[in-house]
Structure 1
Amino acid sequence: VIMDETLPGGSAAPYNLGRVTTHETGHYLGLYHTFENGCESPGDYIDDTPCMKDETFGCPIDQDSCPSPGVDPIHNFMGFVDDDCMKEFTPDQMARMKEMTAMFKPSLLFSNPFFCLSIGSQCKYDRDCCSDRCRKNKCTL
């Protein structure tokens, strides 16, 4: 469930740039919060996400709440920072989402002829991407 106040232009500033939708989609595709398990292993169960002690609000650049390597991933979509601070998933988070999509929601990969999520590469915005003629080259699982 997404509150309409968090959509772009909504009234829930500083959470009104649409990043809540991105965050919730991350959960839908198998991701945990960046602060999952605090500073303890396995964290968010993604190897390339630095540990983070607690949820963080605002945009505290260079915050380092855990002794393990890496500063807190405050720019990650799976945290609780302000929308204008969120801007990335890690490569391993992207791989997890692609794997979860392929395993549990494969219809999402080919459901729209104008968009194709190419497993193992960048997203393709190509009208021919999901056509029968091109599927073998661009949209393989």
Structure 2
Amino acid sequence: MALCPDCRDDLHPNHHPCPHCAAPLPAAAASVCGECAGLAGGADRVFAPYLYDQTLGRLINRFKFHSGFDCGGVLARLLEAHIAARSDPLPQLLIPVPLHPKRLRERGFNQALELARPLARRLAIPLDPQRIERLRPTP
């Protein structure tokens, strides 16, 4: 599946994301958002190439809740293009966030893993889906 030109035009780039949480920042803002300014640690980089809106929301919803693997492929290609276009080094490792076993039974698949697999393959980045474990269910 590919996005039609109208849907692609409806995607709005996240031009100035916070590097720690990817929240959109104004162009003249500080380098991190107010929520992350006082926090230590966290991920090295977080990618959110597009703002969450109706078009992106429909793609994500169909992928997560309606087994829309074709939408997952579109989302993976969008992420791949964003990561490949960046000037900083590629990640050394992709670690998809696992689902709680109950949620995995409900959905039948882990959407984070389904996004990470093609990214790892196409960008030649190692993938380690066993690196972390979800201990608590989340809403």
Range into which the TM-score falls when normalised by the shorter chain:
under 0.3
Tell me the TM-score normalised to structure 1 length. 0.28
